[in-house]
């Protein structure tokens, strides 16, 4: 486990510039052949014997000065009971709780997690019906509509959701139209969409996603009406700025997973564009002055 910026999840509209103590177990209910964390997610037994109880984990976050905790790296669904205990303990200590997940839960499980305090969800959408038909041996049996059903339920329960579409060369580029349509129909225009570059990993050896493909999908999503579209994993801060959907002004800029420009008004419990007053959906509060260096740079 380690403290990591919230922007790395990526969550851009949730406690901006905060850090979360990020933890994992092992295993996954999917086996994506391109998984960057396959050493953890494909493992059949723990790689490390270190066990940390929920109280100890949250205490570590408090001591590190983190604003929250985050289950990530492998699929958090595999840690379900532990997650519930961590969420409750985090709430008791005044921290937020988040998940980076493939979103493949039962509704009952989603409800229990939100109830336990998980109000920030970075949800991956892996594919679409066309990709499943064309590649039946990749994620066999997965019904991608369930991910949207669950994301909708999280929103209805008052949670915050950001969707991540990792555009995997040779697998799901053709899913863009379906994903944009489902996003707008199920979640609405104000839920952020991250269009992210894939890099070869594990068993998937196709080349990294071409920048032109990512930019084309992002443009299509914006034109269709999604208000907050970001292009990630390409190292271009210009593709990670938040603009006001009404007047187009830049409100937030990010670099290296940190907020480097923040220009929003806050009143009545809401963030607004200071130029035209349009409400900007942000969960939690901006945490100023919190720089972060990856552990290997310290
Ligand atoms: S769902 Fe996530 S953790 Fe699981 S195999 Fe796929 S990329 Fe890896």
Residue-level pLDDT at 291:
79
What is the predicted pLDDT for the residue at 297? 58
Q: Is-cis flag, bond preceding 251, omega within 30?
A: no
Looking at the DSSP bridge assignments, the partners of residue 99 are: 71, 121
CA of residue 99 to ligand 1 center, whole Å: 13
Give the strands of the sheet with 258-262, arranged side by side: 242-243, 250-255, 258-262
Write the residue with the smallest CA distance to atom 8 of ligand 1. 35
Pocket test for ligand 1, best of 24, 41, 171 (most atoms within 8 A of CB): 41
Instruction: List ligand 1's pocket residues with C-beta within 6 A.
Output: 28, 30-32, 35, 37, 41, 74-75, 102
pLDDT at residue 290, rounded to an integer: 85
Residues 161-194 have pLDDT tens digits of 999 999 999 999 999 999 999 999 999 999 999 9
For 202-237, how does the pLDDT look when each residue is reduced to its tens digit (9 = 90+)? 999 999 999 999 999 999 999 999 999 999 999 999
Closest residue to atom 6 of ligand 1, CA basis: 32
Backbone phi and psi for residue 233, each to the nearest 5 degrees, phi listed first: 65, 20
- Ligand 1 centre distance from Cα of residue 271 (Å): 33
> Tokens 């994992």 — which residue?
24
Ligand 1 centre and the CA of 115: distance in Å? 24
Averaged pLDDT, 112-117:
98
Instruction: Give the distance (Å) from ligand 1 centre to CA of residue 89.
Output: 26
Q: Is the pLDDT of residue 298 over 60?
A: no
- Tell me how far the alpha carbon of residue 219 lies from the centroid of ligand 1, in angstroms: 27
Instruction: Count CA atoms within 13 Å of residue 59 on its CB side.
Output: 5
Q: What is the pTM of this model?
A: 0.97
Ligand 1, atom 3: nearest CA belongs to which residue?
74
If you search the block for the tokens 């990591």, which residue do you land on?
A: 4
Q: How confident is the prediction for the chain on average, in pLDDT?
A: 96
Ligand 1 atom closest to residue 75's alpha carbon, by position in its atom list: 3
Q: How far is CA 52 from its chain centroid?
A: 24
pLDDT in the model for residue 50: 82
pLDDT at residue 246, rounded to an integer: 98
Cα–Cα distance measured from residue 244 to residue 112, given in angstroms and rounded to the nearest whole number: 34
Q: Residue 224 — φ and ψ, nearest 5°?
A: -70, -20
Question: Distance from the CA of 17 to the center of ligand 1, in angstroms?
Answer: 25
Cβ distance 120 to 283 under 8 Å?
Answer: yes
Mean pLDDT of 140-148: 97
Quote the CA–CA distance of 54 and 85 in Å, as a whole number. Answer: 6
In terms of residues, how long is the chain? 298
Which atom of ligand 1 is nearest the CA belonging to 28?
A: 4
- Grade residue 263 by pLDDT with cuts at 50, 70 and 90: very high
Domains and CATH numbers, the chain: 2-243 (3.20.20.70)
What integer pLDDT is reported at residue 125 of this predicted model?
A: 98
């Amino acid at each position: 486990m380690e403290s990591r910026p919230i922007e790395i999840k990526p969550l851009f509209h949730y406690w901006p510039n905060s850090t979360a103590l990020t933890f994992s177990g092992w295993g996954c209910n999917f086996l994506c052949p391109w998984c960057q964390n396959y050493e953890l997610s494909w493992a059949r037994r723990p790689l490390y014997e270190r066990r940390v109880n929920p109280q100890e984990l949250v205490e570590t976050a408090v001591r590190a000065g983190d604003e929250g905790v985050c289950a990530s790296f492998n699929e958090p669904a595999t840690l379900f009971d532990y997650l519930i205990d961590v969420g409750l303990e985090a709430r008791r200590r005044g921290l937020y709780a988040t998940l980076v997940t493939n979103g493949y839960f039962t509704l009952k499980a989603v409800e229990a997690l939100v109830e336990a305090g998980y109000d920030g969800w970075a949800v991956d959408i892996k594919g679409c019906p066309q990709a499943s038909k064309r590649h039946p041996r990749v994620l066999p049996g997965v019904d991608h509509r369930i991910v949207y059903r669950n994301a909708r339920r999280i929103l209805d329960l008052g949670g915050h959701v950001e969707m991540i579409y990792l555009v995997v060369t040779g697998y799901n580029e053709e899913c863009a139209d379906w994903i944009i349509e489902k996003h707008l129909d199920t979640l609405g225009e104000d839920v952020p969409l991250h269009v992210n570059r894939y890099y070869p990993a594990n068993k998937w050896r196709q080349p990294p996603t071409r920048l032109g493909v990512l930019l084309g999908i992002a443009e299509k999503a914006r034109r269709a009406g999604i208000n907050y579209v970001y292009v990630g994993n390409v190292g271009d801060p210009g593709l990670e700025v938040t603009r006001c959907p009404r007047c187009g002004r830049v409100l937030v800029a990010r670099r290296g997973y940190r907020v480097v420009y923040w220009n929003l008004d806050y009143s009545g419990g809401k963030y607004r564009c200071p130029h035209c007053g349009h409400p900007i959906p942000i969960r939690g509060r901006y945490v100023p002055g919190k720089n972060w260096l990856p552990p290997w740079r310290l």
